[in-house]
Chain A
Amino acid sequence: MTAVLRLENVNTFYGAVQAHFDLCLDIYPGEITCLLGGNASGKSTAMKVIFGLVRPRSGRVLLAGEDATQWGTPRRVAWGLRSVPEARRLFPFMTVRENLLLGAYLRKDRRQVAEDLERLLDLFPRVGERLNQAAGTLSGGEQQMVAMARALLGKPRVLCMDEPTMGLSPLWVDRVLELVQTINRQGTTVFMVEQNARAALQIAHRGYVLRHGVVTLSGTAAELLDNPLVENAYLGGKAI
Chain B
Amino acid sequence: MIGNLYMLTAIGITQIYGVAGVVNFAHGSVYMAGAYIGWMAITWLHWPLVPVILLVLAGSALLGLALERLAVRPFARAGSTILLLTTIAAGLIIDNAAQVIWGPQTQALPNPLPQWHIRLGAGTVSLLDLFILACGVGTALLLHLFLYRSRAGWAVRATAQDRDAALQMGIDVNRVNRYSFALSGAFAGLSGLLVGLYFSNIYPTMGASATLKGTTAALLGGLGNVPGAILGAYVLGIAETFSVEWLGSSYRNLVAVLLLIAVLLFRPNGLLSGRRALNPEPTAGTFIPHGRPLRFPRWLIPASAVLAAALPLFVANPYALQVLAIGWVFALMAVSLNLISGTTGQISLGHAGFVTLGAYATAILTSRLGLPFSVSLLVSPVVAAVIGVLLCYPALRLRGQYLAIATLGLGEAISLIALNWDSVTQGPLGISGIQPAAFFGYEIWSAAGVYWLDLAALLACVWAVYRLSRSHLGRALRAVREDEVAARAFGIGLARYKSIAFGVSAFFAAVAGVLLAHSYSYIAPDTFTFALSIQVLTMIILGGRDNVGGAVIGAVILIVLPETIRFLGEYRYILYGLLLIGMLRFRPYGLLNSTT
CB distance from A175 to the nearest CB of B (A): 23
CB distance from B250 to the nearest CB of A (A): 41
Most buried by A among B158, B164, B170, B171: B170
CB distance from B446 to the nearest CB of A (A): 54
Task: Determine whether the beta carbon of A73 is less than 8 Å from that of B155.
Answer: no
B105 contacts chain A at the CB level, 8 A cutoff? no
- A158-182 at interface with B (beta carbon < 8 Å): none
CB distance from B212 to the nearest CB of A (A): 28
A77–B157 CA distance with the chains assembled, in angstroms: 19
Interface size range on A against B = 20 to 34
- A46-62 at interface with B (beta carbon < 8 Å): 51, 53
A103–B154 CA distance with the chains assembled, in angstroms: 11
A78–B166 CA distance with the chains assembled, in angstroms: 13
B-chain residues with CB within 8 Å of residue A119 when the two chains form the complex = none
Known: A91-B157, A94-B157, A98-B154. A105 touches B171 (CB 8 A): yes
B169 contacts chain A at the CB level, 8 A cutoff? yes
Task: Determine whether the beta carbon of A106 is less than 8 Å from that of B161.
Answer: no
Task: Determine whether the beta carbon of A51 is less than 8 Å from that of B168.
Answer: yes
Q: How many interface contacts (CB-CB < 8 Å) are there between A and B?
A: 63
Query: What is the 8 Å Cβ interface bit string for chain A, positions 51-89, against chain B (1 contact, 0 not)?
Result: 101000000000000000000111001100011010001
A14 contacts chain B at the CB level, 8 A cutoff? no
B165 contacts chain A at the CB level, 8 A cutoff? yes
Task: Determine whether the beta carbon of A102 is less than 8 Å from that of B158.
Answer: yes
Known: A53-B167, A74-B171, A103-B169. A91 touches B161 (CB 8 A): yes
A-chain residues with CB within 8 Å of residue B161 when the two chains form the complex = 91-94
A154 contacts chain B at the CB level, 8 A cutoff? yes
Instruction: With CB as the reference atom, state the residue of chain A lying closest to B225.
Output: A93
A82–B170 CA distance with the chains assembled, in angstroms: 9
A103–B157 CA distance with the chains assembled, in angstroms: 14
A-chain residues with CB within 8 Å of residue B171 when the two chains form the complex = 74, 102, 105
Task: Determine whether the beta carbon of A105 is less than 8 Å from that of B170.
Answer: yes
B570 contacts chain A at the CB level, 8 A cutoff? no
B-chain residues with CB within 8 Å of residue A105 when the two chains form the complex = 151, 154-155, 169-171
Task: Determine whether the beta carbon of A106 is less than 8 Å from that of B165.
Answer: no
Instruction: With CB as the reference atom, state the residue of chain A lying closest to B148.
Output: A98
A90–B162 CA distance with the chains assembled, in angstroms: 8
Most buried by B among A89, A106, A154: A89
Closest 10 CB pairs of A and B: A77-B170, A89-B165, A106-B170, A73-B167, A91-B161, A83-B168, A74-B172, A74-B170, A105-B169, A102-B169
Query: What is the 8 Å Cβ interface bit string for chain A, positions 207-237, against chain B (1 contact, 0 not)?
Result: 0000000000000000000000000000000
A positions within 8 Å CB-CB of B: 51, 53, 72-74, 77-78, 82-83, 85, 89-94, 98, 101-103, 105-106, 150, 154
A-chain residues with CB within 8 Å of residue B155 when the two chains form the complex = 102, 105
A66–B170 CA distance with the chains assembled, in angstroms: 19
A-chain residues with CB within 8 Å of residue B157 when the two chains form the complex = 91, 93-94
Return the contact of B158 from the options A51, A72, A77, A94 (Cβ within 8 A): A94
Task: Determine whether the beta carbon of A89 is less than 8 Å from that of B170.
Answer: no
| Residue tally, chain B, CB below 8 Å to A | 16
A51–B169 CA distance with the chains assembled, in angstroms: 11
CB distance from B168 to the nearest CB of A (A): 5
B-chain residues with CB within 8 Å of residue A53 when the two chains form the complex = 164, 167-168
Query: What is the 8 Å Cβ interface bit string for chain B, positions 137-177, against chain A (1 contact, 0 not)?
Result: 00000000000000100110110011011111111100000
A193–B151 CA distance with the chains assembled, in angstroms: 31
CB distance from B283 to the nearest CB of A (A): 15
B positions within 8 Å CB-CB of A: 151, 154-155, 157-158, 161-162, 164-172
Known: A85-B164, A85-B165. A91 touches B158 (CB 8 A): yes
Known: A91-B161, A92-B161, A93-B161. A77 touches B154 (CB 8 A): no
Return the contact of B162 from the options A51, A73, A74, A91 (Cβ within 8 A): A91
Known: A74-B172, A78-B170, A105-B169. 8 other contacts (CB 8 A): A74-B167, A74-B171, A94-B158, A101-B154, A102-B169, A105-B151, A105-B155, A154-B170
Most buried by A among B158, B167, B169, B171: B169
CB distance from B155 to the nearest CB of A (A): 7
A-chain residues with CB within 8 Å of residue B166 when the two chains form the complex = 91, 102
B-chain residues with CB within 8 Å of residue A98 when the two chains form the complex = 154
Instruction: With CB as the reference atom, state the residue of chain A lying closest to B170.
Output: A77
CB distance from B492 to the nearest CB of A (A): 27
A-chain residues with CB within 8 Å of residue B165 when the two chains form the complex = 85, 89-91
Instruction: With CB as the reference atom, state the residue of chain B lying closest to A87.
Output: B165
CB distance from B291 to the nearest CB of A (A): 14
B-chain residues with CB within 8 Å of residue A106 when the two chains form the complex = 169-170
A105–B176 CA distance with the chains assembled, in angstroms: 14
Task: Determine whether the beta carbon of B168 is less than 8 Å from that of A77.
Answer: yes
B-chain residues with CB within 8 Å of residue A85 when the two chains form the complex = 164-165, 168
Q: Supply 9 A–B pairs (Cβ within 8 Å), ascending by A.
A: A51-B167, A77-B167, A77-B170, A89-B162, A91-B166, A98-B154, A102-B171, A106-B169, A150-B169
CB distance from A3 to the nearest CB of B (A): 21
CB distance from B229 to the nearest CB of A (A): 15
A-chain residues with CB within 8 Å of residue B162 when the two chains form the complex = 89-92
A72–B169 CA distance with the chains assembled, in angstroms: 12
A200–B157 CA distance with the chains assembled, in angstroms: 34
B-chain residues with CB within 8 Å of residue A51 when the two chains form the complex = 167-168
